[in-house]
Amino acid sequence: MPLDSVYRPNYATSTQSRRCFLRSSATLGSALALGGLPILLHGATRRLGSLPADPFNLGVASGDPTPDSVVLWTRLANEVIAEVGAANDAVEVGFEISHSPSFRNILRRGAIAAVPELGHSAHADVRGLAADTEYFYRWQVGNATSPVGRTKTAPAGSSDNQKFRFAFASCQQYEHGFYTAYQHMAKEQMDLIVHLGDYIYERSWGQNLVRHHEGPEIVSLADYRNRYITYKSDRDLQAAHASAPWIVTWDDHEVDNNYASEISEDDQTPEQLMLRRAAAYQAYYEFMPIRLPVGRQGPAMPIYRRLRFGRLMEMNILDTRQYRSDQACGDGRQPRCAEHRDSNRTLLGSAQKNWLYDSLASADSAWNVLAQQIMMASLRSVDNEGNELWPMDLWDGYPFERQELLDHLQTVATPNPVVLTGDIHSNWAADLKLDFDNEASPTIGAEFVCTSITSGGDGQDMTDYGQALLNKNPHVKFYNAQRGYVACTLTPAQWRSDYKVLPRVTEADAPISIRASYITEAGRPGVQEA
C-alpha cells in the first residue's frame, strides 16, 4: 500500500521534510513544520567532542512503523549539553541501524540536528527499510553511544500476514507505583506497543505515594519538559520503549484533567488553557517517537492518524480531547440535563470525524481498530434515589455522536471493528451494541479496555463500583481493577486479549499473571471469555 494511503496527506511524510531531516553532504538541516510551513535550520550545527556524562539518560524509543519506515527517538540530557556550552546550539546526533544488536553489520548511518527550540530532542524518520523486519538502532553524540533499541517495521499493506502480537496500556501516574508492568512487557518483544494516554500526570493526587513529582500543578513548557524527564527516567519504561516500536496518543492528563478543547478543568480562561496546551503539546512531541504533524500551530496539533499492519489490522489512532465539546451537565456521573440532549455536541470534531468515517468506509483489513481514550460501551449507573447517571466524560456523555458512529460502522460494514480504550484505570471487555438501550439490538463490535500501569495504586480484582456497573450493563462482560496491561494476539480468524495483572505496584518487581482472556472471532462480533 502506498504511503499516502497510510497517512493522512497533512501528516509529515514529504520527500522535502525527509531530505531536510537527514544529513546531506556537509549541511545538516532540520525542518520544523509550523503552521504547515517548513522552517529550515541550516548550518551552524555543532559536532560535540568528549562529554562529561551520559547524554542518553532518558533512553531511546521508536514509533509509528510503516512498511518502509520508523521514527527513531532520543533526547539529549539538557544538563550535559549545557555543561559543554551547547545549550543554545543545534547539536549533531548520529544514528546507526543494524539487523543485529551487536551492530556487526551497519545497514544505515545518518545524522540529524537536535535543536534547542525542541529541547534537544532527536527524531529521525528513517525511510527505505524492509517491511515486517526487525531492526536495532543506537544514537551517537560526541564520544557517547546510546543504549540499543529494537524496532520492527509494519508488514506490507497487501501482505497476508497471519499473526501479530501487541500490547496496549495507559495511565502511569508516577507517584502511585512502580512501572513493573513495563518490565514484563519489555520481555515479550512485542511487534508493537500502543499507549492510549495519561503518559504523564499534571498534578499529584491519591495516597500511599511511592515516589514524587516536583512542584505543584504544571502549566509551562519548562514544567511539562521536567515532568516528562521525571517519568522518562524510569528504567522499566525505558526498557519497554527500547523493546518495540510504540504508537502513542494522548488523553487529558498530558495537559489538564478532563479538559475539553479550550475549556480547562478549573478556573483557567480559554486563553490561558490554549497557551498551556501549546506548551503541553510541544513537550509531548519532544518526548514521543512520532512524526511532527504538519498543521501544528501553537495549541493546534492534529495527531489522529492511521497505521496499517498488512491485511491483518488497520489502526485508527484517535484524539478525543482536543476537539470535544465541554462535558455536559457539569461533568462526572450525572442525570441527563438539557445540554446532554444537544445533538450538536461533538467528541471528535468534524475534521477528525470525517476522516475516521472515510477510513471506516474503505477499511479492508481483517481487524479495524479504533485506538482511543474513553470507554465507548455504555456504562450508566443508578444512584440511591433510582436516578440513572451518565458518565459525562466518556462516550456516554456524547450519545448522538456515538450513535452516529455505531450506525456508520453498521452501514458501511466495516470488517470486525475493535475499540481499544484506556483512561478508566480498570480492565473491561464489552460488546458494542448498535443500540445500548435495547439489549436485543445487534452487537456490532468488541471493546477491550486496559487498566492503568500504576494510576490508582495497587487496586483489587473486584470493587462495589465494578460489580454495580456489571449488573446494570449486561453488554459488559468483564471487569478487574488491578494494574497491568493487555496483550493481544491477532490471526485472521481470532483476536485474543490477555489481561495481564500485577498483585501490587507499590513494591517493585512483582510477578505478572493473566487474570482473564477474552476473544472475538472474525465475523462474529462481541467478546467471549477464552
**289: which DSSP letter?**
S
Residue 110, strand partner residues: 95
- Report how far residue 390's alpha carbon sits from residue 383's, in angstroms, rounded to the nearest whole number: 11
Of 92 and 198, which CB lies nearer to Ca ion in the complex structure?
198
Among 22, 84, 171, 318, binds Fe ion (CB under 5 A): 171
Q: Closest approach of Cβ 257 to Fe ion, in Å?
A: 9
Contact segment (CB under 5 A) with Ca ion among 116-124, 129-137, 251-259, 517-525 equals 251-259
Of the two residues 250 and 518, which places its CB atom closer to Ca ion in the complex?
Answer: 250
Residue 266 Cβ vs Fe ion, minimum distance, rounded to whole Å: 17
Q: How far is the CB of 452 from Fe ion (least distance, A)?
A: 6
Which of 171/255 has CB closer to Fe ion? 171
| Residue 391 DSSP symbol | E
Question: Judged by CB, which is closer to Fe ion: 71, or 171?
Answer: 171
Q: Show the 3-state SS of 208-253.
A: CCCCCCCCCCCCCHHHHHHHHHHHHCCHHHHHHHHHCCEEECCCCC
By CB under 5 A, the count of residues binding Ca ion is 4
Least distance in angstroms from the C-beta of 181 to Fe ion = 14
Binding mask 449-488 for Fe ion (x = CB under 5 A): ------x---------------------------------
Interaction between residue 252 and Ca ion (CB under 5 A): yes
Q: Minimum CB separation from Ca ion for residue 410, in Å?
A: 28
Q: Which is nearer to Fe ion, 183 or 426 (CB)?
A: 426
User: Toward Ca ion, which CB reaches closer, 234 or 252?
Assistant: 252
| DSSP 8-state secondary structure symbol assigned to residue 99 | S
- Which stretch in 35-43, 72-80, 193-201, 311-319 sits in contact with Fe ion by CB under 5 A? 193-201
Q: Decide: is 198 part of the binding site for Fe ion (CB under 5 A).
A: yes
Which positions from 368 through 427 interact with Ca ion, judged by CB under 5 A?
423
- Which three-class secondary structure state does DSSP give residue 342? coil
SS3 assignment, position 201: coil
For Fe ion, the closer CB: 365 or 454: 454
Which set of grid coordinates corresponds to residue 116? 534547542
Minimum CB separation from Fe ion for residue 321, in Å?
12
Query: 313, exposed or middle or buried, with CB in 10 Å at 0-12, 13-18, 19+?
Result: buried
First to last CA, the chain: 34
What is the identity of the amino acid at 317? I
Helix (H) or strand (E) holding 78: helix 78-83
- Contact 192/245 with Cβ under 8 angstroms? yes
Angstrom distance (rounded) from CA 151 to CA 189? 9
- Chain positions contacting Ca ion, by CB under 5 A: 198, 251-252, 423
